[in-house]
Structure 1
Amino acid sequence: MKDIDITRAIRAKSDQLNADDLLAGPMTIKIRDIQVVAGEQPVSVYFDGDDGKPWKPSKSALRVLAAIWGANAAKWLGMSCTLFNDESVTWAGVAVGGIRVSHMEGLSKPREIKLTKTRGKKVGVTIQPLLLEKHSQADKWKERLFAVAEDPEKSVEDAWGKVPAEIKAELADDIYDKLIAMQEAATLERESDPDATANALNDAIG
């Protein structure tokens, strides 16, 4: 018997991506545009194949994106992440589901982000590395540079100076700016997390 995919038929009728659109499974998106307007959902993230229905991240999701890619959303363009329906998300005390981020491009290892759940209480959310298929030497260099950006012992500027000219020509024009933004975001995240130093030491000694 042939397969009959009903994914499109069960999508919620809306002008934006909904948690119900992810009932069939997670979705990996590549960001192509971001718009910011006034309102309760000020940020609209447009991605390849969005059919004109942007993802409007919650504050928690925006906090995750900013913690890893930096607060300047212009640097998120061209980056990829995986979204999923977290059925535990509640509204008015009822579990209604919500869109969360599980994986992000630019990480070489899982990173825990501390998010404010209620006043005075934070919870840790672990974001996994998004492993994209590498087709060229430029892709491999890009992966190495991402790892440098999140390493407190390394410098993006120094690493960039070692990239061959022909590889730089293949990489996106704004890749260096993305790397600097990610390095600054990683530094800020470590400084704002009182457990970061202890965690780094535990990782180092195994």
Structure 2
Amino acid sequence: MDISKALVAKSDCLNASDLTGAPIVATIAGARKGDAAKPVVIDLVGMDGRPWKPSKGMLRVIAHAWGVESDAWIGRLVKLVNNPEVIYAGEKVGGVEVIAMSHIPADFTIPVRISQKKVKQHHVAVLAEPATEPWLAQWQAIKNALTAAGYDGDSKQLLATAGQVIGANWDHPNKISAEDAQKVLAAVREDTPDEAPAS
């Protein structure tokens, strides 16, 4: 019996404790603004709507490897693990770390802060890109953006809407090129109202 699901913490986001049993490989569906403590929220395919809220150290790792434009991360893979040595408020609480990434030419090592006084050399390995349907993450990101902009409907209707946004027409989401996907995301996000400021 695989008990991995029983280890998952009851939370609205991915936690280090979720990775106690083993690392996971996840596909990035999109990234969005977070709050002051966790400024970027990364949506992952197949995580039951529970996003990853990376630390600033892990954001620096991702930016070093893939650049600072988060739309370019969509469809790419990360291997995440719990590092129990991560310290917060003077105690070892653990943290989610990236140990491998797709779409990088070679392994790399960069300094990452794990506490106020401690920096470690963090190593990231090359993660082989899957041979299976990478368009799924891209399509999920488009659907997420359309929904956030107030569009609704089933997948067929959303596909038609995505095409109308840039003057294109597809009979299946897997026909959307990466270039067209970026155009759709950029156009839809321009039309998405900013979140109201917190009171």
Fold-level match, TM-score > 0.5? yes
Report the CA distance between 1:98 and its aligned residue. Answer: 0.6
CA distance in 2, matches of 1:25, 1:14: 18
- Residue number in structure 1 paired with 2:47: 50
TM-score normalised over the length of structure 1: 0.60
- In the TM superposition, what are the counterparts of 1:50-199 in structure 2 within 5 Å? 50-116=47-113, 122-134=119-131, 172-174=177-179
Supply the AA of the counterpart residue of 2:5: R
What do you get for the CA RMSD once the two structures are aligned?
2.6
- Among 8, 18, 22, which residue is 2:19 paired with? 22
> SS state of the match for residue 9, structure 1?
helix
Larger deviation, residues 46-55 vs 5-14 = 5-14
Structure 2 spans left out of the alignment, 5+ residues: 134-174, 183-199
Superposed CA offset, 1:43-64 (max 9, x none): 1111110101100000000000
**How many Å separate the matches in 1 of 2:18 and 2:110?**
25
Structure 1: which 5+ runs fail to align?
A: 137-169, 178-206
Match of 1:106, SS? Answer: coil
Identity over aligned pairs, percent: 33
Partner of 2:82, secondary structure, is: strand
Q: How many corresponding residue pairs?
A: 140
Cα distance in 2 for partners of 1:12, 1:120 equals: 29
Q: Structure 1 residue 124: deviation in Å?
A: 2.0
Residue type of the partner of 1:36? K
SS in structure 2 of the partner of residue 40 of structure 1: coil
What displacement does 1:89 show?
0.8
Q: Secondary structure at the match of 1:14?
A: coil
Cα offsets for 1:36-83 (capped at 9, x unmatched): 033311211111101011000000000000001001111111111100
